[in-house]
Amino acid sequence: MTELLLELVSDYGLVILGGTVFLAALGAPLPGTVLLVLSGAFAAGGDMAPVAVILTAYFAAVAGDISGYIIGFKGGAWLQGKLRNAGLGAQIGKAEGFMAKWGGLGVFFSRWLVAPIGPTLNYVAGIGRFSWQRFVLWDMLGEAVWVGLYVAIGMVFSASALALVDMIASASWVIIGALGMYFMGKRLIKLARGAGKPAQ
């Protein structure tokens, strides 16, 4: 799949980058981070303009995130039920827990540090009527980090971009797994403490 992306990005550049990043922000199973790294590598080689790459990816990501928030806001509980019926209950639970713990910082971190839950968190923030002003602020800050970080990685390590893509994908899922274990551990401790209390 990476080889196909390499060919598409070299031929269609910014259109592929913007479209992929936008749809990935809505939850489509498309490798937005992979394209950022590859686009950075192309920019380093002079095949794409660095400023155009950064601006295209940034505005596409923000637009996709805000669209997800609006869909969640309009869909409310009905959308939440549909997502759970589609087998996304566990991911919704993670996103809800992350938002409950971190609030606006959760939006910020889900843009780049724990990006796999980002699209679901967009819907959850809208469904939960999280302040849209705060959502947009933290989203824009987080996407600036995401875009800047991965384009820079692609530019600096352009000769090893393909190997980096595999490493980035693995690291993201390790972080998600660690967060899942953390929240599950807290829940189990709480349940164990409750079970140990004598009945009143």
| Residues 42-68: tens digit of each pLDDT | 888 888 899 999 999 999 999 999 999
| Residues 73-103: tens digit of each pLDDT | 998 888 888 777 777 778 788 888 888 889 8
Q: What angle do CA 105, 110, 116 make, to 5 degrees?
A: 165
> Which are the contacts of 42, defined by CB distance < 8 A and separation ≥ 6?
9, 10, 13, 48, 53, 154
* Better pLDDT: 108 or 42: 108
> Concatenated DSSP letters for 8-74?
HHHHHTHHHHHHHHHHHHTT-S--HHHHHHHHHHHHHTTSS-HHHHHHHHHHHHHHHHHHHHHHHHH
Q: How many domains does the chain have?
A: 1
Q: What share of the chain is helix, strand, coil (3-state, %, to 5)?
A: 90, 0, 10
| Residues 149-195: tens digit of each pLDDT | 999 998 988 766 656 555 655 555 555 555 555 556 666 666 666 66
Q: Which residues of 27-63 are buried (b: 16+ CB within 10 A; e: fewer)?
A: beebbbbbbbbbbbbbbbeeebebeebbebbbbbbbb
The parent domain of residue 113 ranges over: 2-196
Share of the chain above pLDDT 70, in %: 74
| Residues 128-142: tens digit of each pLDDT | 899 999 999 999 999
Tokens found for residue 53: 């790459």
What is the per-residue pLDDT for 26? 93
- Where residue 38 falls among pLDDT bands split at 50, 70, 90? confident
